[in-house]
A and B are shown apart, each in its own frame.
Chain A
Amino acid sequence: MRLHFLLVAVLLGATAAPMAADARSDAKKQVEFGVNVAQRGLWREAIYRWERAVQIDPTYAAAQNNLAIAYEHEGDLEKARVAYEKALELEPNNAFIKQNYELFKEINDRTTRKDSQ
């Protein structure tokens, strides 16, 4: 019985790794395309691509980071905050994400000042 469970676990492990790799590869294609169009100023299309990338691979920090930047560019600061925080959760030591988030926070804090009525 124990051997049976072990076999199932090994099989699952063996199939899960290539599946994850496939998901990352598909997500990466979306991210690349998104970067390309964002550089040409087509931010709506970039958002669509990066949202797809996040759906395919929710653990892809770069996609979350890019999505956050695009939301910020569109003025959707709440969505941007959520995406930045998700990106940082996935890669807490990524200096680029940290820098982007710090710059974003400066703007976001300005719009959500507590001393106004």
Chain B
Amino acid sequence: MTGRLAKIASSLVAVFWIAGCSNYYEIPIETPIKPKLDVSAFQRVLIAGFIAGGTDDVDGNVETTRLIRSQLRTKSDLRVIDADVLPLMEAANEDKPAPAEAAPATARDPAIKDDKDLEPYEHLFADVNYWKKIGEEYQNPLIVTGTVMFTPSSRSGFVQREQEVFTATGQRRVVPVRTYQERKGYRLKPKFIFIDGRTGTTLHSETFTEEVLYNANQATPALSSYFELMDRLLPSFLSTLSSQKIKGTRVLLQ
């Protein structure tokens, strides 16, 4: 008797719980995000170029400059200056004592293979005189520069995937299966530095890290991985300079 009562009570609780949850309404919302940086003092933006390293398959300097320029043209109020990419490696090397027979540096020095290799060039971004001179040349714009590391990465381990199985009665079921997999892909680590072209000082800097891994036997071109990873971090980059609206849905309750 007590068991039966308990069953009735628990079903009643379940009914009331479902009834209680039935008053919900899905609603679309747009969350406005204020820009992290106040760029109201600038009318123009110069994407000066990047010191890039990592894989030789993608020119991180050229590709990042091109992509950011095209994004800012459509998604920002700032006028994008069309100019050649600055020879940043040369400028960085000019400042430090180098052997006379040193090989001429390009914006994509093959010697830059990891984050540590970038360190000798970092001082350029703090060189106020250099950036002030560039600012004067381009009529005091906001300057965007920084570093881009695009490196191959690989990782092995257990991954969970869903597998379709059929029971003895022919019923279809999907069960999680853990399998050992070797995965290869790329890691993208750009550091964006925003410089005031009037004073040459750094206003803001931001580092992002994104990684994509594929099945080891899947041949994905490096350039397509680069764009896949840039696509992930572009909204965050753009939200530094311009206000964004992020669309989504939420559930209102009663």
Instruction: Assess whether A116 is in contact with B205, with CB atoms less than 8 Å apart.
Output: yes
Across-interface contacts of B254 in A (CB, < 8 A): 28, 31-32, 35, 62
CA distance A69 to B27 in the complex (A): 9
Across-interface contacts of A62 in B (CB, < 8 A): 253-254
CA distance A6 to B248 in the complex (A): 53
Instruction: Assess whether B207 is in contact with A115, with CB atoms less than 8 Å apart.
Output: yes
CA distance A87 to B154 in the complex (A): 42
Most buried by A among B24, B36, B248: B248
Instruction: Assess whether A73 is in contact with B31, with CB atoms less than 8 Å apart.
Output: yes
Main secondary structure of the interface of B (DSSP, over half): strand
Q: Kindly state whether residue A107 has any CB partner on chain B within 8 Å.
A: yes
Across-interface contacts of B175 in A (CB, < 8 A): none
Q: Kindly state whether residue B32 has any CB partner on chain A within 8 Å.
A: yes
Instruction: Assess whether B239 is in contact with A99, with CB atoms less than 8 Å apart.
Output: no
Q: Kindly state whether residue B66 has any CB partner on chain A within 8 Å.
A: no
If the complex has contacts A75-B34, A111-B33, are A117 and B205 also in contact, measured as CB distance less than 8 A?
yes
CA distance A21 to B21 in the complex (A): 19
Q: Kindly state whether residue A15 has any CB partner on chain B within 8 Å.
A: no
Q: Kindly state whether residue A19 has any CB partner on chain B within 8 Å.
A: no
CA distance A31 to B252 in the complex (A): 10
Chain B residues numbered 200-254 whose CB sits less than 8 Å from any CB in chain A: 202, 204-208, 235-236, 239-240, 246, 248, 250-254
Residue ID in chain A nearest B193 by CB atoms: A117
Whole-angstrom distance between the Cβ of B14 and the nearest chain A Cβ = 14
Q: Kindly state whether residue B30 has any CB partner on chain A within 8 Å.
A: yes
Residue ID in chain B nearest A72 by CB atoms: B31
Whole-angstrom distance between the Cβ of A24 and the nearest chain B Cβ = 12
Instruction: Assess whether B246 is in contact with A107, with CB atoms less than 8 Å apart.
Output: yes
Instruction: Assess whether A100 is in contact with B250, with CB atoms less than 8 Å apart.
Output: yes
Across-interface contacts of A117 in B (CB, < 8 A): 202, 204-206
Q: Kindly state whether residue B166 has any CB partner on chain A within 8 Å.
A: no
CA distance A104 to B25 in the complex (A): 17
Chain B residues numbered 164-194 whose CB sits less than 8 Å from any CB in chain A: none
CA distance A100 to B251 in the complex (A): 7
Whole-angstrom distance between the Cβ of A22 and the nearest chain B Cβ = 17
Instruction: Assess whether A96 is in contact with B24, with CB atoms less than 8 Å apart.
Output: yes
Instruction: Assess whether B253 is in contact with A96, with CB atoms less than 8 Å apart.
Output: yes
Residue ID in chain B nearest A66 by CB atoms: B252
Given A107-B248, A111-B239, A116-B206, 6 additional A-B pairs, CB 8 A: A39-B27, A65-B251, A69-B29, A99-B251, A107-B33, A113-B206
